[in-house]
Amino acid sequence: MLGQSSGSLEPRDNANPLSEREEVLPQLADEPVESIVPPISRHDSRIPDAMAALRYRDFRLLLLGVFLAMSGWWMMIIAQGWLVLELTDSASMVALVSAMMSVPFLFLGPFAGIAADRLYRKHLLVTTRFIVAVVMFLEGFLILAGWIEVWHMLTLGFVAGCAFAMDIPARQSLIPDTVPDSTVANAVALNVSVFSITTIAGPLVGAGLLAAVGAMGCFMANGVGNVALALLIAAMRIPRRERTSAFGLKDEFVGGLQHVRQTPLLILLLSAALVVTLAGRSWQQLAPVFVRDVFGAGEAALGWLYTAAGVGAVMGALMLVGLSRTPRRAPIYLGALLAAFVAVIGFAWSPSLLVASAFVLVAGFGLQVSEASAQTAILVETPEAVRGRVMSLWGLLWGLQPLGTLMTGVVADLANPHIAVGGGAVLALLALAMLFSAQRDTLSRF
């Protein structure tokens, strides 16, 4: 565990990796699991070490699916905020509709983690992604027919959020099932890189679709992307893990909490992630308000703003690929967090769209580097038997995002968006400073 390590985040050694990908693995839930993927020698592949995870077929399929699905997600985000603003002219409603996709994480998070550890992750992910696709197609049809209302978006957003709540722990836990232990950090960095690229491609294409055919095209594109991810996961050859220990819902959940409680670094990283969730991404939900009401621009400018953040995220992800074998991540993590929140503060009081774009580029860079560094630490060191439950706690933070989003939206309506976003970032910086100063010894092991 991280709290008991010598300070390095190098992956655990493989004692005896299996040679057959399709073998069923009987395993007690409380035992550590060796890598199910045998390493491929660099001499047997033309792919360089910097992208070693791409040597594995299942990881390549997962990466392609993530690219298609997340590109569609960003197209939908562009359209959703703009559509709600046109329907209601309210920053609070923009925040509320966005928040409805996160609310299910609050009550489904624990079950999602247990499901990720107990069920066949491949089938679970295929199911959740098809549900999301159906929701997106239905919403696109309502927009096309001219029947769309805000309550439709709230209801369908909640349904999609339920599927996402079950999806995220399983999908993140699936990464170590596609590569050997020694390549997990590289796989996470590449996964983050592809996600970052979608934050550029999605907003650019989404803004074009929004201007050309309206919000309907963005929702339909998201539906297609989710179908593609489901089909690619279905094509993966992930072996089942047979769980032979007795099942108890309470014991399963408590087991995951006990692992976190016994690992101080996990507690620290999850606590910091909570602060970031509440205040670090509030600018994204209120971006349509800034673009229309502060900068006096339209849909294309909104896409440009999201794209600038995506460029920063890609820069951060590419840096992480090169540093995926770095044992000491604390300086990188702390520096990235500081840069992100300072940039959010700068964005909140930017005098123009150009200056705001420069600040969100830095914010995208910092948030990507800090979150990916924390996620890598959790995935590499958490035993497979409890990995889904631990990652569900990471996903549970999404369920708390509505609290920060709604507070930001209400403050924006009562005061102004500058105070709502910038003030929240200042408070978050103070909270992180107190947290890290009280946990200096724990940070020394990161």
Q: Where does the pLDDT of residue 27 fall: very low under 50, low under 70, confident under 90, or very high at 90 and above?
A: very low
For residue 8, tell me if it sits in a domain: no
| Residue of 201, 168, 167, 172 lying closest to 188 (CA atoms) | 172
* Residues 278-310: tens digit of each pLDDT: 887 778 878 888 888 888 888 778 878 888 888
CATH code of the domain in which 80 resides: 1.20.1250.20
| Residue of 173, 174, 178 lying closest to 40 (CA atoms) | 178
For residue 1, tell me if it sits in a domain: no
What pLDDT sits at residue 326? 66
Q: Where does the pLDDT of residue 141 fall: very low under 50, low under 70, confident under 90, or very high at 90 and above?
A: very high
Give the whole-number percent of the chain exceeding pLDDT 90.
25
* Contact status, residue 321 vs residue 193, Cβ threshold 8 Å: yes
What pLDDT sits at residue 137? 97
What pLDDT sits at residue 347? 94
Stronger pLDDT, 101 or 31, i.e. the higher one: 101
For residue 32, tell me if it sits in a domain: no
For residue 80, tell me if it sits in a domain: yes
| Mean of pLDDT values over 82-105 | 82
* Residues 421-444: tens digit of each pLDDT: 998 899 999 999 998 888 877 777
Instruction: Provide the mean pLDDT of the chain.
Output: 79
| Residue of 172, 170, 171, 204 lying closest to 71 (CA atoms) | 204
What pLDDT sits at residue 252? 61
Stronger pLDDT, 325 or 170, i.e. the higher one: 170
Tokens of 67: 């690219």
| Mean of pLDDT values over 59-83 | 90
For residue 265, tell me if it sits in a domain: yes
| Mean of pLDDT values over 344-348 | 94
- Amino acid (one-letter) located at 322: G
**Alpha carbons 441 and 430: distance in angstroms, whole number:** 19
**Alpha carbons 224 and 140: distance in angstroms, whole number:** 11
Three-class HEC string of the chain: CHHHCCCCCCCCCCCCCCCCCCCCEEECCCCCCCCCCCCCCHHHCCCCHHHHHHHCHHHHHHHHHHHHHHHHHHHHHHHHHHHHHHHHCCHHHHHHHHHHCCCHHHHHHHHHHHHHHHCCHHHHHHHHHHHHHHHHHHHHHHHHHCCCCHHHHHHHHHHHHHHHHHHHHHHHHHHHHHCCHHHHHHHHHHHHHHHHHHHHHHHHHHHHHHHHCCHHHHHHHHHHHHHHHHHHHHCCCCCCEEECCCCCHHHHHHHHHHHHHCCHHHHHHHHHHHHHHHHHCHHHHHHHHHHHHHCCCCHHHHHHHHHHHHHHHHHHHHHHHHCCCCCCCHHHHHHHHHHHHHHHHHHHCCCCHHHHHHHHHHHHHHHHHHHHHHHHHHHHHCCHHHHHHHHHHHHHHHHHHHHHHHHHHHHHHHCCHHHHHHHHHHHHHHHHHHHHHHCHHHHCCC
Q: Where does the pLDDT of residue 250 fall: very low under 50, low under 70, confident under 90, or very high at 90 and above?
A: low
For residue 3, tell me if it sits in a domain: no
Q: What is the CB neighbour count within 10 angstroms for residue 8?
A: 11
* Contact status, residue 223 vs residue 79, Cβ threshold 8 Å: no
Rounded CA Rg of the chain: 21
Boundaries of domain holding 219: 46-236+249-443
Number of domains observed in the structure of the chain:
1
What pLDDT sits at residue 37? 65
Output the CA torsion 159→409→356→217 (10° steps).
30
pLDDT value at 81 more than 60: yes
For residue 24, tell me if it sits in a domain: no
pLDDT value at 416 more than 90: no
What pLDDT sits at residue 299? 72
Q: Where does the pLDDT of residue 193 fall: very low under 50, low under 70, confident under 90, or very high at 90 and above?
A: confident
Stronger pLDDT, 121 or 44, i.e. the higher one: 121
Give the whole-number percent of the chain exceeding pLDDT 70.
82
| Mean of pLDDT values over 259-275 | 83
* Contact status, residue 104 vs residue 161, Cβ threshold 8 Å: yes
For residue 273, tell me if it sits in a domain: yes
Q: In degrees, to the nearest 5, what angle opens at C-alpha 127 toward C-alphas 125 and 130?
A: 105
